[in-house]
Amino acid sequence: MRYIFRLVLMLVFLAAIAVIAYSYVGDLTAQRSTVEVPVSLEVN
């Protein structure tokens, strides 16, 4: 039982480190670009 608990604790610890590393290294910013779309308005 102790070995299973140790394994689960180690996996949780490694997952937390992986998430923190991905947040620093991974490119999580959105790409921004200007979009211009012509709009025709019909006035009666």
Q: Is residue 24 part of a domain?
A: yes
Structure tokens at 42: 């019909």
Q: pLDDT tens across 16-31, in order?
A: 999 998 888 876 677 8
Domain that holds residue 6: 1-30
Q: Is residue 11 part of a domain?
A: yes
Angle 17-18-22 (CA atoms, 0-180°, nearest 5)? 120
Q: Is the pLDDT of residue 11 over 70?
A: yes
Q: Is residue 21 part of a domain?
A: yes
Q: Is residue 41 part of a domain?
A: no
Find where tokens 């019909």 sit.
42
Measure the CA–CA gap between 20 and 23, rounded to whole angstroms. 5
Number of independent structural domains in the chain: 1
Percent of the chain exceeding pLDDT 70 equals 93
